[in-house]
Amino acid sequence: MSGDEAFPPPAAGTGRRRPRSQAVPPILTLTVNPTVDICFEVDRLADVGKSRARVRFVAAGGGGINVARGVSRLGGRAIALHTAGREVGRRLNRLLDEEGVDHLSLEIAHETREAVVLFESQTRRSFHIVPPGPRLDDREGRRVLEALERAVAGHEYVVVSGSLPGGLPDTFYGAVARRVKEAGSRLVLDTSGRALRESLLEGVFLRRCNNHEAAGFAGKAVRTFDDARAVNEYLLAAGATEVAVTTLGELGALCSTRHGHTELRAPSLPGEPLSDAGAGDAMVAAVTLRLATGGDPVEACAFGVATAAAAVLTPDTEPFDREVAESLYPAVRVVRPAGS
């Protein structure tokens, strides 16, 4: 494929894609710093006095948990490995059980965090307020790694997504990457800050960075596909990943491998964008599931862009609509610039 083309839905059983009848191993996700998300709806936040609110939903959250939910929503299978502490941790476990998300819980000493989402119905704006979370000690960090070693067997793809809690070293995701690699599995990593930088010392299969995270590598704002290309070339040259994906918000994403760069231009939205809070996790879920079912990285990332677009159409952190994601997929434009 060259130039500027729409991305056609691939036929089942062609290329690297497995026939639909063949079972696909479940995807394992790891969330070291999960949340219980509580979403309130108000007509409009009052400058003074009380803002009367309605509870829209209460749900388990955190990067890897959101990815596991997204994989299931797209028809795949996922198991979420996560920490859980005290009363909020027990609530987290119960919410996952009630939702039917397969999960493995690791008890920690301190309280799991709660995040608050405020949705203003008059303005259609969302505000996501997220505390840093509990502090894990060295023993708890080792227990997470040991649990990962036990759980990873039989999983071709492992997704590690989200922030690190206090107490764990910035090199923790590097240790995770080594264990996944030793197990013969492929790691998809989506994190930020110092944890992202320190993890570059360990090569992974796929890294996703949004444009804000990528700016830390570029030393400037990342706004265009050319900006993203410089970031992805840096990651590939450093041996930090086999597939580099930098997302550019409403523009789409750039997917890069040793074979070249591919611009995946986001489709026009059929409605008003409401919130990008869950778009990154939705994209990672779609990309990983397509890879697990035999898709190549460009195909997988195109479906990821479509799924992220579907997520933007939902308010706050509500799940995306699978049918909308699938309908947007053929409209993702695939561009391979000259020299890529």
Kind and range of the H or E run holding 210:
strand 204-210
The per-residue pLDDT for 121 is 87
| pLDDT class of 194 with cuts at 50, 70, 90 | confident
Max CA pair span of the chain? 61
* 220 Cβ neighbours under 8 A, 6+ residues apart: 227
Residue 9 amino acid letter:
P
48-74, pLDDT tens digit by residue? 889 999 998 999 999 999 999 999 999
Share of the chain above pLDDT 70, in %: 92
The per-residue pLDDT for 315 is 73
| pLDDT class of 337 with cuts at 50, 70, 90 | confident
276 in active site:
no
Q: Is the pLDDT of residue 128 over 50?
A: yes
Mean pLDDT for the stretch of residues 22-45: 91
Which segment of 4-13, 100-109, 162-171, 331-340 scores lowest on mean pLDDT? 4-13
CB 335 within 8 A of CB 262: yes
237-238-243-247 Cα dihedral, nearest 10 degrees: -100
213-265, pLDDT tens digit by residue? 999 888 899 999 999 999 999 999 999 999 999 999 999 999 999 999 999 99
What's the CA gap between 223 and 212, in Å, rounded?
Answer: 9
CB 84 within 8 A of CB 157: no
* 122 Cβ neighbours under 8 A, 6+ residues apart: 43, 44
Domain annotation for the chain: domains and CATH numbers: 3-33+62-107+134-336 (3.40.1190.20)
305-318 as b/e: b if 16+ CB within 10 A: bbbbbbbbbbbbbb
Catalytic entry in 190, 281, 296, 316: 281
The per-residue pLDDT for 340 is 67
Average pLDDT, the chain: 90
The per-residue pLDDT for 165 is 95
| pLDDT class of 119 with cuts at 50, 70, 90 | confident
99-115, pLDDT tens digit by residue? 999 999 999 999 999 99
What's the CA gap between 3 and 124, in Å, rounded?
Answer: 37
DSSP 273: -
CB 81 within 8 A of CB 103: yes
Which segment of 117-131, 198-212, 219-233 scores lowest on mean pLDDT? 117-131
pTM of structure: 0.91
